[in-house]
Structure 1
Amino acid sequence: MDERNITDNTKMIMKAKGVSIRALAEQIAMSSVSLSKMLNNKVSIKTSTLIKISQALQVPLENLFVETPRLYQVRFRTQKVMSAREKAQRGQILRDSALWMRDYTLLESVTNENLSSILTSHAFPSEPKEAAGKLRKVLKLSETGAICDAFSALVEQCGVKLRLYPFGLKKSFGLSIGIQDGGPAIVVNNDPEVSVERQIFTIVHEIGHLIMHHDSFQFDEPLSTEKEEADADLFAGTFLLPDEALSYQWKEKGALSFVDRVLAIKLLYKVSYKVVLSRYKQLFEPKFNIYAKFASDYAKEYNHDLKNHYEPFSLERPVAIESRFPSLVKKAYLDEDISFSRVQQILGLDIEQARELVWSWKEL
């Protein structure tokens, strides 16, 4: 076994989880000095020690052995100033995303079920609102209809691979992966504090990048330009809540208060209140400080502030579900293209969870 690869993986996982050598040494009943020597490749690591390390770090043992893959076409916007731990978390997210893409490519190959992407088979305008309108037409959506009831199906129809993954990283909501690395694919942060509305917006935001900025995916330049981010935001807002839809609904709900009109449209289109406010500002009153007015009026009407990313009447169920990947694992296993241990590794399950899952497959 490649011990340097093992120690690199272990140290990356430790950094991402904020686990020190001393803390890990205590958990596996080993001296800090001995563990440090192992992690710096000065002495060999026993298999029994690796098992203890994987259990202490709460990761599958296989994660310590895998060759560290790399993504070459990825957009992952993060804060410009990051701590060592945040950088390690970012690295872990990219590493896990690369492993996921590798497994996804394998599953598509053995099951002979490949997605065709309309993002690459159609020509889209570079202007965000026009591109959003073109995508709705390609998907045969009406000019005013809400799209989120069948959102996961629409993502699949776009030919985009989707993964929901807890980033554990503040102010980072998603990343997109280009064709060269097996995409188009999107990984979305589904940490508990990230609302479903935010996840939906992030998915469409990243689709905007895949459509409009596909030539500027570079691993070594992870920070998108402000213009590209603004374009992707406008694309997402327009796709989810088109001009015609907002204009019609705003007039239709004219009898309601300002706050209740915003909330009614938010609930109908399954977007965040900020998307409604942003689209209103773009369409009707660009210079009006609509966010301050909404926050003030909402506090008066509902006796609650909007601090700490509070989302009024937030969606409770995950609308955007990554259903295709698990179904490919199931098909590959039942067709005997992958082993039980591979199922366990790909889905990150312990042996009992994996046994229960494959048993349920066989019972159907």
Structure 2
Amino acid sequence: MKGPTKLFTIGLTLIIMGCSSLKNESNSEKKLVAEKLKVLLDSLTSNEKFSGTILLAEKGNVLFEKAYGMADRNRNILNKIDTKFNIASLGKIITKIAILILQERGQIDLKATIDTYTEVFPNEIGSTVTIQHLIFHRSGWSHYWNNDYFNANMHNLKSIDDYMVFIKDIPLEFKPGSQERYSNTGYEVLGHIIEKASGMSYHDFVQQNILDKANMSNTGAFERDGHISNVAIGYYEEANNGQLMANTRIIPVKGTAAGGSYSTVNDFLKLENALFNGKLLNEKGLKLLFSQSAELSGELPSGIFGVAGGARGASTNWVKDFGTSYSIFVFSNFDMGTARPISEAILEYTKRLSSNHGL
């Protein structure tokens, strides 16, 4: 997708330059924003450069939302605004929220080592890796894709415990806390810690303490043998020949704490609103959630917070600009990396609007 993405970004930049001049408009500004944004984004679907849903909110209220492209190319089914998408690693933010809920309840200490909650790991790991290390990808683990047990048994991994069978034996690649390396392994371990600390399955805890409270009725974990209605099929380009392939055979048997869930852009706006309305976390927890520093300063960022997910046939972005009160949600069922240039372009557009209007 490198070629299309580059052209895609150039096209967005040119469109934004043409759509950002609203200085002389004073009435119905929100309607104007939506109309201008529609012009910007409609141009992206003409050459199948994007397929998915986009939502722009201001202070928790929808300013613009629209669906683009196909949810199922074989059956000619269009994406709708309530279509469910594979959110890939964007689901890690839900795992982080779950950890912070348990921290507020006194059931988890972020600075405690993982052997406080589980005896699964050898002492040299359990006594050195902390919950904080896991949250910020500083545990010493990275990925488990090349693990022999995982590759031999991936189609039978249906629970967090199934993952712990082999993760417990994966050695650390560096001293915990000494560096940062993105870690799916670490987030699977967080799922295990959530189960041990709460006495519930990871999925049940998330459902009862996050999804239900935020009224996220279109969010859950993929199950290969289950039926999920109104879900987009992911598509990716085959590396060898560029052929467009469906990702239905490569999604996990069941989603995990590290990824493999589905959601909608409106459900993620509900999540954001629930967070800022105090339904999920207190003020301290909220500050910890949006901290992007392992130092846990406990302050909300003054600039931009962004989280993303990406896999073959899945690309998702959630961007919150604390300076302008805009929030951007982009979910795509196209190749990984598709959502980022769109969210960046919309972010640039909203900054121009904010500087011109003070919106």
TM-score normalised according to structure 1 size: 0.25
Task: Return the structure number with greater helix share.
Answer: 1
Task: Return the structure number with greater strand share.
Answer: 2
> Which has the larger Rg?
1
**Greater RCO (Cα-Cα under 8 Å, separation 6 or more):** 2
TM-score normalised according to structure 2 size: 0.25
